Amino acid sequence: MNMTAVTPELVDAAYAALGSGDPAQVARYWHEDMRWCVPGNHQLAGWYEGRDAFLGFMERVGKLSGGSFSMERVAVLTGGDYSADVTHNVGRRAGATGAASPYDSLDIDVVHVLRWSDGRVVEGRGAIFGDGTTRFNQFWSQLDAGGARISG
Amino acid sequence: MNMTAVTPELVDAAYAALGSGDPAQVARYWHEDMRWCVPGNHQLAGWYEGRDAFLGFMERVGKLSGGSFSMERVAVLTGGDYSADVTHNVGRRAGATGAASPYDSLDIDVVHVLRWSDGRVVEGRGAIFGDGTTRFNQFWSQLDAGGARISG
Amino acid sequence: MNMTAVTPELVDAAYAALGSGDPAQVARYWHEDMRWCVPGNHQLAGWYEGRDAFLGFMERVGKLSGGSFSMERVAVLTGGDYSADVTHNVGRRAGATGAASPYDSLDIDVVHVLRWSDGRVVEGRGAIFGDGTTRFNQFWSQLDAGGARISG
Amino acid sequence: MNMTAVTPELVDAAYAALGSGDPAQVARYWHEDMRWCVPGNHQLAGWYEGRDAFLGFMERVGKLSGGSFSMERVAVLTGGDYSADVTHNVGRRAGATGAASPYDSLDIDVVHVLRWSDGRVVEGRGAIFGDGTTRFNQFWSQLDAGGARISG
């Protein structure tokens, strides 16, 4: 049984802990055995098994986007063992210099659905609204707009 | 100001009304000026403006899937003016006879995020977990597994 | 046995006939029972069975692109019963007004491989270089860059 | 000026050299500064600059498919400085054990268009017929049918 209610405040605290980068804070809200699924079929897509793998994914997002990747919170929802946060995500590929293209710039609306157990996230999955998954696949592809291969 | 709280019971009632097909029930929970966005870039994707357009979309889903399309509710979440329902959707293309292929059979996990005003849905958007958007694009394409064009 | 050799001149003549719109000229080079496969999984994709269906496809390309769709020939190849023509295709969606986006503007490199019998095309298939198929799917989707549905 | 005519025999010899793995044979038909473009937007897609990069790509195809990737020649065409070879490509992902899925098995029709200079390939580009590019993106994604991430 889930003794800690999943509330918007808990969701906020978990993301704040994640943003802090403080391992103790992260461990408080994100279970060691958590798993996370990134939508699409690009190099970052699929299930990350374990908190370390998830944190490695987050780090790679930062690196590939030159630290430009940001998520603006639009809404937080809860229900039973679940939470959902709707965000507006933007980013620019590290090193991109040319005009905006779906390979260089990202602007999508996303929802993350999290499952909790005793106050910690045990599973999370992202999903993208509209045709954003196509653009997500382009953005995280190892291609620039001209088809050059970029090392990831 | 939103006078009617968005609760799981309200979400259930709205989907039950939609399933009933009773116009009065539908109108009670789904605003005439509502809009709905179907994810992906296939023939059914994009924004449907107005309840009639949304209902037309639902009807087309039923027709194209020979009535096989079904959504199993996994979780319902609420928060402020929003609700989210996580579902497991399966369907089979009307007239499909061959072996299972992504063009004939659909099996995806989905979340719908709804925005409410005074007890009625004013906006809804679907999003698909994992690589389900690719399979959604294949399933609703006007192609069978061999590339034959199927009239929609 | 194929009595008429497939030459670059024959390929040129066939495309010129197609461009002329003169039914007698078209019939001279394009077999009544020909089939044609458009790559991708958008509304125009898949096999067109019969010359009439193929011509209907061509007409729809012209209509959906407001007559802007054009193919610049880069190379013509032949071998046995086959020809291939490499083209640079550009187009703009009919009615597109906003800034360039993959949903409004197309710029791809393409190859068409044709199979001939007795001086007439009996089968043709297109294929797209680089990541152009993604952009082809976006361009022929019934979506604009904002996700609005456009009647096809 | 191109002193060596591009003939089907030359195309055959170039692919045979490639298949032999003998560096001297490879160097005879494939220019050191050649480039090659793999279609789609998956981990192997895009331009490979230089023969070494191209050979590295070929090696990776073999490794990721457990040596199962094979190309059956259907037709060879030539014209000016160009050749095109139409092939039927099949493969199975290394380590795949489950039922057939687009993530585990590949079966596509492909055309490679090569540009030659003085008897050696200086540029090559692949393109895929039908909706094969979608399946190519799935096959080379780092995902299995269940969304597990596979190290490439």
List, as own/partner pairs, every contact residues D49-58 make where C-beta atoms lie below 8 angstroms and the sequence separation is at least 24, other chains included: D51/D26, D51/D27, D54/D30, D54/D124, D55/D26, D58/D18
Q: ipTM strictly over 0.90? A: yes
Q: Show Cβ contacts of residue B126 under 8 Å, excluding neighbours closer than 6 positions.
A: A129, B36, B37, B38, B39, B110, B111, B112
What type of residue sits at position C93? R
The mean pLDDT value for B12-36 works out to 97
Strands D120-128 and D30-38: parallel
CATH number for C8-139 (one of 3.30.300.30, 2.60.120.330, 3.10.450.50, 3.10.129.10): it is 3.10.450.50
Please state which architecture CATH assigns to domain B8-140: Roll (3.10)
Q: What is the pLDDT of residues A34-76, one digit of tens each?
A: 999 999 999 999 999 999 999 999 999 999 999 999 999 999 9
Percent of chain A with pLDDT over 90: 90
Nearest chain C Cα to B136, which residue?
Answer: C41
φ/ψ (deg, to 5) at A133: -65, -35
Q: Pick from D102, D130, D141: which is nearest to B147 by CB?
A: D130
Distance CA A3, CA D57 (A): 52
Q: What is the pLDDT of residues C97-135, one digit of tens each?
A: 766 789 999 999 999 999 999 999 999 999 999 999 999
Residues of C whose CB is below 8 A from D128:
39, 127-128, 133
Mean pLDDT: which of B89-98, B128-137, D89-98 is highest?
A: B128-137
Instruction: Let me know: does B134 contact D134? Beta carbons within 8 Å.
Output: yes
Distance CA A40, CA A36 (A): 13
Length of chain B: 152
Instruction: Let me know: does A132 contact A110? Beta carbons within 8 Å.
Output: yes
For residue A47, which of A126, A112, A136, A115 has the smallest C-alpha distance?
Answer: A126
Report helix angle C132-139 to A132-140, nearest 10.
160
Report helix angle D132-139 to C132-139, nearest 10.
130
Average pLDDT along chain A = 94
Instruction: Let me know: does B100 contact B142? Beta carbons within 8 Å.
Output: no
Is C141 within 8 Å of A147 when comparing Cβ atoms? no
Q: List the structure tokens of D16.
A: 């045979």
Weakest-pLDDT range from B72-81, B89-98, D34-43, D117-126: B89-98
Q: Which other chains touch chain D, taking contact as 3+ CB pairs less than 8 Å apart?
A: A, B, C
Residues of A whose CB is below 8 A from C130:
147
Instruction: Let me know: does D38 contact D123? Beta carbons within 8 Å.
Output: no
Residue with tokens 């790509």: D57
Strands B82-92 and D105-117: unpaired
Q: Is C140 on the interface with B (CB under 8 A)?
A: no
Nearest chain D Cα to B145, which residue?
Answer: D131
How would DSSP label each residue in B50-65?
Answer: SHHHHHHHHHHHHHHT
Residues of A whose CB is below 8 A from C141:
131
Is residue C25 within a helix (H) or strand (E), and if so which, with residue range?
helix C23-29
Is residue D138 within a helix (H) or strand (E), and if so which, with residue range?
helix D132-139
- For chain A positions 57-116, those within 8 Å of chain C (CB to CB) are 102
